[in-house]
Amino acid sequence: MMINWNNMDTLTSIQELSKIKPVELAQVMAGENGAERVKKYTVPMAEGMAYNYAAKQVDDEVLSGLAKLAEEAQLVEKFEELYNGAVINTGEKRLVLHHLTRGQLGNAVVADGVDKRAFYTGVQEKVAAFARKVHAGEITNEAGEKFTTVVQIGIGGSDLGPRAIYLALENWAKKQGSFKMEAKFISNVDPDDAAAVLKSIDVAHSLFILVSKSGTTLETLTNESFVKDALKNAGLDASRHMVAVTSETSPLAKSDDYLAAFFMDDYIGGRYSSSSAVGGAVLSLAFGPEVFAQFLEGAAEEDKLAKNKDIFKNPAMLDALIGVYERNVLDYPSTAVLPYSQALSRFPAHLQQLDMESNGKCVNRFGERVNYQTGPVIFGEPGTNGQHSFYQLLHQGTAIVPLQFIGFRNNQIGMDVVIQDSTSQQKLCANVAAQIVAFACGKSDENRNKNFEGGRPSSIIIGDQLNARTMGALLAHFENKVMFQGFVWNVNSFDQEGVQLGKILAKKVLAHETDGALKEYSDLLNI
């Protein structure tokens, strides 16, 4: 089949969708109709999870239109092209291979004369062997003592995803008995970030992971120097405390400054790199390589579902299509991600980068301006904290913001307390159930200040418990959702030129090569 990379506004299916009368959500979610929708509008995900979209503004007519859109935009065929090794990243003329870090979805992919699946599994085996030696005390500090803390130094995708996943699994791993080492993260070039981390750890028993694909990332190398100074001041040999995650061609690859180097390549973008050595090194050291393997298995199972042409058996594609409908037909500019799990406290921050760096584009894959909206603004916080913060705007503000809830029936640690005839976990779950219905149905009141119009759409991903496998599936779901939306919008979801201009100008400021407004701002900041 020939693949056609056409702009969304040329597709007849999107034009047909725009002619369908929008669903009156408050009406269809009321009473027994709502109960039937909740039962009907659910799609199974990997690892026993489910995507429920009953409280979205869709009905059978809209869903039929979305299925036509998926077919016309050739979403599954484009995904097949991607995992079979086509040059999908047109901006940088690169393959897109993050799925290969967790499984072989199609044909063997050979790039640069190398079987890439074998390359990624080889790196994983090297990371696992290193982690086991650290845990066994075969790799130690100069005094022959075990490392107790691992610190990741990186920024953007080298920080957000791995940090979110570490925090998601930390308490679960402690309960499971698989917690090996505490992990910390240094990302911001602000010296207060590195200083705060260094003050919170015993540097003599800390192992540092420097993550930089190119080996030239300014913020990361600056923080590396900050850490090396701290080690030197403590009378320690920095090379006995540092490993690198980098490309084979980077200046870090064969440096004596590191105990080991684990490789990544240009075919995996930073925000998609959590299942590569970028996440693998810190997570294997923190929890053991077996836990990281479980995480990869969960992601691989969710990836397999993304191959299905039936939108009702492909949760990531259905989620993506509903998001496109909300963005381009209903004209909603943002989406809130609301996990009812404290362990997912940094997951919305990761999804901000994943989504907004991928699909925040105004030109298509060929560099031509598009005439429609692309990626939404993503924000979020865990429930129930968010309920006492920005939910006021979500319930009664002038803008309608689609909502993505995430909830689990059971907590991670097993500790709980009964107060007023219910446990804390039951209270948490009661809140998310209540919020979905409150947003959808609202409540009429003659006092306009207390009136809730309803009609605020949401979906929820539900699982039994947040663990390594479900975390992997959750990550893959959102990665694939973003990918499918990029295909519909005909943008390149795998480059990020938008981050470059600021970097270039910052270098000019530091070199004192400024004039005009740039010079004035530099002077104001005493640079």
Cβ proximity of 206 and 172 under 8 Å:
no
Tell me 7's DSSP state.
-
181: region left, alpha or beta (phi > 0 left; psi from -120 to 50 alpha): beta
Q: Which residue has the tokens 């306009």?
A: 448
Q: Which residues pair with 405 in a beta bridge?
A: 338, 460
User: CB-based contacts of 196: which residues, under 8 Å, 6+ apart?
Assistant: none
Q: How many CB atoms lie within 10 A of CB 320?
A: 27
Q: Which of 303, 305, 319 is nearest to 66 (CA)?
A: 319
Catalytically annotated residue among 427, 450, 503, 507: 503
Of 168, 161, 48, the residue nearest 466 (C-alpha): 168
Instruction: Tell me if 309 sits within 8 A of 375, measured CB to CB.
Output: no
Active-site annotation holder among 40, 304, 313, 388: 388
Crossing angle of helices 75-83 and 468-489, in 10° steps, is: 120
Beta bridge partners of 80: none
388 part of the active site: yes
Structure tokens at 186: 């240094």
503 counts as catalytic = yes
Quick check: 362 and 374 in contact, CB under 8 A? yes
The Cα 346–Cα 476 span in angstroms is 16
Strands of the sheet with 242-247, listed across from one edge: 182-186, 149-153, 206-211, 242-247, 261-264
Measure the CA–CA gap between 510 and 494, rounded to whole angstroms: 29
Nearest to 323 by CA among 496, 473, 488: 488
Residue 511 near residue 106, CB atoms below 8 Å: no
Q: What tokens were used for 216? A: 């030239």
Q: Which candidate in 47, 72, 357, 381 is catalytic?
A: 357
Which positions are catalytic?
A: 357, 388, 503
